[in-house]
């Protein structure tokens, strides 16, 4: 079964449709009345192989750009606004926390006393975007960024570990929430990150060095043609008609040069657009440690740090 067929079946299953796999690359789908307007009917006969389609012309061929696939993709994006994932971790305790905190703080030779230890929930939110880069080619990229809502900073580490986060759709722990919930502000922060990615990509796609090289080629070529024509024009005993011919040629070279230079500029100019597609909140159990460093000028200053149970690492509050 092709990837496309698997996807379409999963889509319709999610939509609550009844699916019958009729034969190789052929399926029947019965969808609910509420989606009739979208697909134009409630009974769909779909085919995923061109050769099979030729033998079964009453089926609709599902392929890139086909009506049905476009509708499915539109609906997939439309219906996926938000979700919350409650992280499940195998261990909610840190063994030998003093040792680990000392290591985290790079204070191996210092004594440290833990005064308090509390668990709480922090949110990490993954915002998903589609970014389009349009020049002579159009490229669309999916860009995701994860923000740590407690510190309101981009967490590349969490992003890198998204695939290893186990989660459930119901809350797993009854710890209180210690997190920012200003999702609009978070979006603003994430957009800065997306802008950074966008600029980097635009630079790569635009490639100034290539533009310069192309401009140099065009200038050199048409200037050389002009010089050659001028040389010929300045030869002795040319008829006026011939001289005018050369003048006309030179004019055309100038025009053509300008046209091609404009074309190159247009070709490499990149316009971008960013679309927010959806956002997924990860509720992550964290442990906050309150500790005192002993033997340092007998200071009684209390410090805190936290442990992220998903990433299995320590951090400091900003």
Cβ-proximal residues to 276 (8 Å cutoff; 6+ apart), any chain: 127, 128, 129, 187
- Which residue number, 4 or 243, has a Cβ lying nearer to other proteins? 4
Map the footprint of other proteins across residues 19-58, applying CB under 8 A. 23-24, 49-52, 55
Cβ proximity to other proteins: between 104 and 167 the closer is: 167
Tell me if 262 contacts other proteins by CB under 8 A.
Answer: no
222 close to 229: Cβ distance less than 8 angstroms: no
- In the bound state with other proteins, the residue whose beta carbon lies nearer, of 225 and 303, is 225
- Distance in Å, CB of 220 to other proteins, minimum: 6
Interaction residues for other proteins, span 170-209 (CB under 8 A): 174, 176-184, 187-188, 191
Positions in 71-130 near other proteins (CB under 8 A) = 72-73, 76-77, 79-85, 120, 125, 128, 130
CB of 215 to other proteins, least distance (A): 11
30 phi and psi angles, rounded to 5 deg: -115, 115
Q: For residue 191, which of 122, 121, 271, 125 has the smallest C-alpha distance?
A: 125
* From 68, 105, 225, 243, residue interacting with other proteins (rule: CB under 8 A): 225
- Of the candidates 286, 58, 257, 40, the one whose C-alpha atom is nearest the C-alpha of residue 158 is 286
Element (H, E) at 183: helix 183-206
Angle at 67 between CA 61 and CA 73, to 5 degrees: 105
Q: Which is nearer to other proteins, 227 or 294 (CB)?
A: 227
| 18 touches other proteins (CB under 8 A) | no
Is residue 277 close enough to count as binding other proteins by CB under 8 A?
yes
Size of the site for other proteins (CB under 8 A): 74
Q: Which is nearer to other proteins, 100 or 232 (CB)?
A: 232
Pairing of strands 271-294, 82-87: parallel
Q: Does 138 bind other proteins (CB under 8 A)?
A: yes
Residues 236-255 that bind other proteins (CB under 8 A): none
Q: Which helix (H) or strand (E) holds 80?
A: none
Min separation Cβ 299 and other proteins, Å: 26
Comparing CB distances to other proteins, the nearer of 81 and 299 is: 81
Alpha carbons 41 and 81: distance in angstroms, whole number: 26
Identify whether the C-beta of residue 35 lies closer than 8 Å to the C-beta of residue 71.
no
CB of 83 to other proteins, least distance (A): 5
Q: How far apart are CA 113 and CA 93, in angstroms?
A: 17
Rg of the chain (C-alpha set): 32
Pattern 295-314, other proteins, x by CB under 8 A: --------------------
What distance lies between CA 209 and its chain's CA centroid? 26
């Amino acid at each position: 079964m092709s990837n496309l067929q698997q996807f379409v079946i999963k889509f319709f299953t999610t939509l609550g449709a009844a699916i019958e796999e009729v034969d190789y690359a052929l399926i029947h789908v019965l969808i609910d009345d509420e989606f009739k307007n979208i697909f134009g009917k409630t009974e769909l006969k779909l085919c995923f192989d061109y050769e099979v389609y030729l033998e079964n012309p009453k089926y609709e061929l599902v392929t890139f750009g086909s009506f049905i696939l476009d509708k499915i993709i539109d609906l997939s994006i439309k219906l996926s606004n938000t979700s919350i994932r409650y992280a499940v971790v195998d261990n909610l305790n840190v063994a030998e926390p003093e040792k680990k905190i000392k290591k985290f703080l790079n204070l191996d030779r210092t004594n440290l006393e833990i005064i308090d230890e509390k668990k709480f929930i922090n949110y990490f939110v993954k915002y998903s975007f589609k970014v389009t880069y349009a020049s002579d080619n159009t490229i669309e990229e999916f860009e995701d960024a994860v923000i740590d809502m407690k510190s309101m900073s981009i967490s590349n580490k969490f992003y890198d570990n998204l695939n290893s986060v186990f989660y459930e759709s119901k809350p797993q722990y009854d710890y209180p929430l210690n997190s920012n919930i200003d999702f609009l502000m978070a979006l603003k922060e994430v957009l800065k990150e997306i802008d950074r990615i966008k600029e980097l990509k635009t630079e790569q796609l635009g490639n100034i060095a290539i533009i310069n090289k192309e401009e140099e080629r065009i200038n050199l070529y048409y200037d050389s043609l002009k010089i050659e024509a001028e040389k010929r024009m300045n030869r002795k005993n040319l008829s006026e008609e011939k001289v005018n011919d050369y003048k006309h040629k030179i004019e055309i070279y100038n025009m053509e040069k300008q046209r091609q230079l404009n074309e190159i500029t247009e070709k490499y100019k990149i316009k971008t657009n960013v679309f927010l597609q959806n956002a997924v909140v990860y509720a992550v159990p964290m442990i906050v440690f309150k500790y005192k460093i002993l033997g340092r000028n007998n200071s009684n200053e209390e410090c805190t740090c936290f442990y992220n149970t998903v990433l299995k690492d320590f951090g400091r509050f900003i």
